[in-house]
A and B are shown apart, each in its own frame.
Chain A
Amino acid sequence: MLEIKNLEKVYPNGHHALKNISFSVPQGEFLVVIGLSGSGKSTMLRCINRLHDPSGGEILFHGVDTSKLKGHALRKIRSEIGMIFQHFNLIPRKTVLENVLSGNLSRTGIFASIFGIHSAETRALAQKYIEIVGLKGKEKNRADNLSGGQQQRVSIARALMQNPKILLADEPVASLDPATSHSVMQYLKKVNEELGVTVICNLHFLSLVRQYAHRVVALKHGKLIYDGKPLEISEEWFKTIYGEDAVEVTIN
């Protein structure tokens, strides 16, 4: 469903973040991207939904090249791609419900959204997703008063509200404690298995990778250096990806 061909990204300051990256993601896969900080993982995810503009190559989403889209067509594609972030990026001072409803902005008129007018079905849907991520009863709470793990679940519900075909997760557990990390990963797994949403997730911990990924790609200095099954990552590959001195850290 998603095919990336010869993707290049050069920042205006000359930093060459992505070099000739090609891979494809079939429907329903849980793909994990690993690599050191600065290896280009975040940039790659952001190129897929065009938070960053690629400098070259193609990104085919259901056969449509997204890399040249503009205006309405771009917003349409973005609405089909959900995204969650390391720092959750919820709207401050707004309730959980308002945050989840913001996932539906692309299908709400500008004035309706500003005045908070939503149809009964939309509200019911938001309610449903809040229940799916286990936050029933917290709809009226201010989102920024919740714990980190709960905030990340709100952001998952917001992404689900878009009814996405694909979910991008940029280090979703990097600012959470180990127990909470597992809980958030479980929700992502649930979204992937029960709702059939394809997931592309950047991760740091190999223990999480082995547990949740169907397939792994690794980036190093902007190049794709590994594409395979999580259990096939040997000690040797590990040292190639993370450097000679790296020691594996596990979280349970």
Chain B
Amino acid sequence: MKQLVHKTPNKYVQSFKAYVLDTLSWAYMALIAYKVIYEKIIISERYPEFSWSQPLLSLYIGLAVAAVLFFTKLSLGRGLFGLIKYDENESPSSQPFAYIGYLLIALTFLTGFYVSEISMKEFLSDSGLEGAKRIFKALLHPNWGIFQEGLFAAIETIYMAFIATAIAIPIAFILGFFAARNLMNGTKLSFFLYNLLRAFLNISRSIEPLVWAIIFSVWVGIGPFSGMLALCIHSIASLTKQYSEQIESIDDGPIEAITATGAHPIQIVWFGVVPQIVLPYLSYTIYRWDINVRMATVIGLVGGGGIGNLLMQYQGQARWNEVGMLVILIAVIVWTMDWASSKLREALK
């Protein structure tokens, strides 16, 4: 029997966390007040200088302000950690500390506007609108002359995604068992292997396929092969994770029953685990292929071959009619894959 242990949070630890949170919020507000509100809005400085003493000074200000306001109702940290008492009929969102939170959100919006250089003037300028008109016109008049070329590139993309998925399946299938906590927490060695594999998967998954494609295009040369490898690495990592999570969520009952018949461990996995995971596995795999086709298009942009590569070439030459043709092709592929994969997955339920 597992017993839930309710840890009573230590008041002093909570207060310390609250103070850290308060300090960081006030330091953030101080920094924004100076860099955005003062420099950008009030004096419209074109080339503001940055030095590390600015955030450092903000931190000191944050520490001081947080210390002064810590025991008032304006301490956001104490409010969030439940250290401020207020009438239970009142909503926490109308408490004074909540207004500090709103202020933080408002300042973040303001900064976001300045960082993204949002400008209605640029958006609606005459020359800008002229350019937009030109490109939309070209896109709406695709050059059907390159239809065949685009189609072949698209086929390359689809097959590249298919092979990447197909190669990833058996590898992920086997790794999935080793990445499932419930199968691997038996001995110390197996649990070590589990953690090692998990760490490896997390690292390879956190590197975007786009980056893998750049690495492989240097390694094996520009072309579909490098794109395929990039997708393959990413698919192995993602599928292994999804497969192992599926294994972790299965019912232990059939495993127990098969074990009780005196079956060999391989038979236990085959009869106790596999029948419970086949359908979700298929569903994940089809979805992965669908994602891979879309990703293959993007990967082509950095030299991974296929229709993305072609798109990059025509875009570089500003041949917008050709780009328009390719955009239509990509849209049709993505839509078809999306539709087919959702229908297939629906049928598998």
Contact = CB atoms under 8 A, between A and B. Distances in A.
Interface stretch (B10-18, B160-168, B263-271): B263-271
Contacts, number: 83
Contacts of B125: none
- How extensive is the interface on chain B, given as a class? 20 to 34
Contact of A103 (B254, B261, B276, B278): B261
Interface in A104-118: 104-106, 108, 110, 113-114
B1 A162 contact: no
A110 B271 contact: no
Interface string B252-280: 01101111111110110011100110110
Contacts of A83: 257, 260
Interface residues of A, number: 37
B1 A51 contact: no
Contact of B260 (A81, A90, A92, A110): A81
B262 A76 contact: yes
B261 A158 contact: yes
B7 interface: no
B46 interface: no
A62 interface: no
Interface in B219-265: 251, 253-254, 256-264
B275 A77 contact: no
Contact of B259 (A51, A93, A113, A162): A51
A13 B260 contact: no
B217 to A, nearest CB: 41
Given A81-B260, A162-B261, A87 B253 contact: yes
A99 to B, nearest CB: 9
Contacts of B270: 113-114
A89 interface: yes
A15 B264 CA distance: 30
A210 interface: no
A110 B261 CA distance: 14
Interface string A56-86: 0000000000000000000111111111010
A92 B259 contact: no
A51 B258 contact: no
Nearest to A111: B266
Given A85-B253, A94-B275, A13 B261 contact: no
Interface string A192-228: 0000000000000000000000000000000000000
B188 interface: no
Contact of A102 (B2, B258, B279): B258
Interface string B270-302: 111001101100000000000000000000000
B116 interface: no
Given A13-B2, A13-B3, A113-B270, A90 B261 contact: no
A93 B275 contact: yes
Nearest to A161: B261
A155 interface: yes
Given A75-B262, A91-B254, 12 more contacts: A49-B260, A51-B259, A82-B260, A85-B253, A87-B253, A89-B256, A89-B257, A91-B272, A93-B275, A93-B278, A102-B258, A108-B267
8 contacts: A79-B262, A89-B253, A91-B258, A102-B258, A105-B263, A108-B267, A110-B267, A114-B267
